[in-house]
Amino acid sequence: MGTLLGFDYGTAKIGVAVGQTITSTATPLATLRSRCQRPDWDGIGRLIALWQPEELVVGLPRDLDGGDTEVTGQARRFARQLGSRYRLTVHMIDERLTSMEARSQLGRAPKTIEELDAVAARLILETWLRERD
C-alpha cells in the first residue's frame, strides 16, 4: 500500500500523475518535456524524490487492434530505464485511447497540451490501480 507515479510516455513529452493504492485514485501532476529525444531524467528524479513512490506505472502505446505502434518499443525502453535508474518496480499497462478520454474528461480544449498529457497519465495510473485488484 502506498504511493505510485504513472507516466504517459511520448518522445517529446511525458505526462506524470501521482496516485494512492489505498484509494485507487490519481491526480495529474506534471508534464515534462524531453530534450533531444531524451526524457527529462532530472525532472523525473525530482518527482520521485518528492513523492517517494513504491512502484511506477508506464502506459504502453498500442494500436486500436492491439498491435505495437512506432512508440511502443521506446515506451518499453523508458520503463526499463526507470526501473534501473530508480531501483523501483515498473508496471506497464495498455494505454489505448487515454488521450481521447483525457480530452473528453476535460470537457474543453486543454489550457495547454501539457495538461492533456498529465490527465492521460492519471487515467493510465487509475486503470492500473483498478485492474490490480
- All structural domains of the chain with their residue ranges: 3-132
For 4, 51, 59, the CA distances from 102, given in Å and listed in that order, are 20, 23, 14
pLDDT score, position 133: 59
Q: How far apart are CA 45 and CA 132, in angstroms?
A: 26
Structure-block grid coordinates of residue 131: 485492474
Residue 126 near residue 118, CB atoms below 8 Å: no
Residue 111's pLDDT is what? 59
Q: Residue 94: its pLDDT value, please? A: 86
Q: pLDDT tens digits, the chain, 133 residues: what are they?
A: 699 999 999 899 999 999 999 999 999 999 999 988 899 999 999 999 999 999 999 999 888 787 888 899 999 999 999 999 999 999 999 886 666 555 555 555 555 556 778 888 999 999 999 887 5
What are 84's three cell numbers? Answer: 534501473
* Third-level CATH fold of 3-132: Nucleotidyltransferase; domain 5 (3.30.420)
